[in-house]
Amino acid sequence: MQIRVAGGARVALESAVVTHGLPYPQNLESARRMQEAVRASDAVPCIVALLHGVPCVGVSDAELEMLAQYPSPSKVALHNLGIARAMQLTGGTTVAATVYLAHQAGIKVMATGGIGGVHRDGRDLSGDLPTLARTPVIVVCSGAKVILDLPATREWLETYGIPIIGYQTDELPGFYTAHTGLRVDATVHDVDALVDLWLAHRAMGTAMLVVQPPPPEYALPRTEMDALLEQSLRECAETGITGGATTPWLLKRLAELSDGRTLLVNLALLEANAHLAGRIAKRLDSTGL
C-alpha cells in the first residue's frame, strides 16, 4: 500500500463513485468538489483507489482524471481487494475497501454519499455493513442508498453496534430525501459534540455513522422520491435486470425520471459530506488523538 499523505487532519474519499457511481464528466467534477470541500475545512483529502494493483491512499489529479475515464475499471470491494492486487488491476474502491485501507493508513474519518445496506429482496447484504461492524472509523454520509431496504439496514446497524449520529437532524436521511421516518441514535448540532461522542465510542471497535440530509435546496420531497423509486423498481423487474447491474440501472433511471435532479442531489450531498468530514478531521487532529 502506498500512503501518499501521512499525518495531519486527513479525510478518506472513496473512488468507486468516480469509476462506477457517476457518469463522466460529473464523476470527475464531483471528486474535485469533494477534495476542495475537505480543503476548505483546513483538512487534507485522500482519495483511495487501486492503481495497477497498488492500493493508494491519495491520488494525483492526473491519476484521478485517468480513473474518471478508465475503460472497464474494476470495482474493488473488500472481498476482491487481494485478488485485484494480485492481478494488478485498476479501479475504484467501495466504502468497505476504502474504510479498510483508510484504517490501515491511520485515517479516522471517511466521507461518502451513501453506504450500502440490506437489499430489498432481503437475500443480499452489502459488504459495507460487516466492514463497518469491525472497523473503528467515522463515516460521514447521507444514509444508505435509497434503493435499499432502509428499515432493515437501520436495524442491522443497531444489531451490530454501529451508532447513527444525526448532524442537525433527528431522522435518518434517505440519500435523495431528508426524510425516511427512521430515527437516529443521537442528534448533535456542532462538530465538538460529534468528536466527544466519537472519543466515547471508539473503544467499541466499530464505526460511527454520522448522517446529514442532502442540502435542502436540492433534496427531493419524500412523496415524490417514493413515487420515482416505485416506478424505477417496477421497470427494473419488468426488464429482468438482476445482480450487480441493478444498482447502476436504478440510479440511471431515477436520474432520467427526475429530469436530472437526483444527479444534482448526489453531487451536492457528496460535497456537503466531504466538508463536514473535513471539519471533524480537523477537530480530531487538534485534540492530538
Distances (CA, A) of 125 to 18, 61, 162: 22, 33, 16
- Find the catalytic residue in 14, 63, 108, 282: 14
Distances (CA, A) of 233 to 145, 175, 240: 14, 16, 11
The answer to whether residues 93 and 48 touch, using CB atoms and an 8 Å cutoff, is yes
CA distance 104 to 198: 18
Instruction: Enter the C-alpha cell of residue 202.
Output: 471508539
Half-sphere exposure of 140 (CA within 13 A, CB side): 29
Concerning whether 75 is annotated as a catalytic residue, the answer is: no
Instruction: Enter the C-alpha cell of residue 13.
Output: 474519499
- Find the catalytic residue in 75, 145, 271, 282: 145
Chain mean position to CA 135? 15
Residue type, 82: G
Concerning whether 108 is annotated as a catalytic residue, the answer is: no
CA distance 77 to 64: 18
Residues annotated catalytic, as ranges: 14, 145
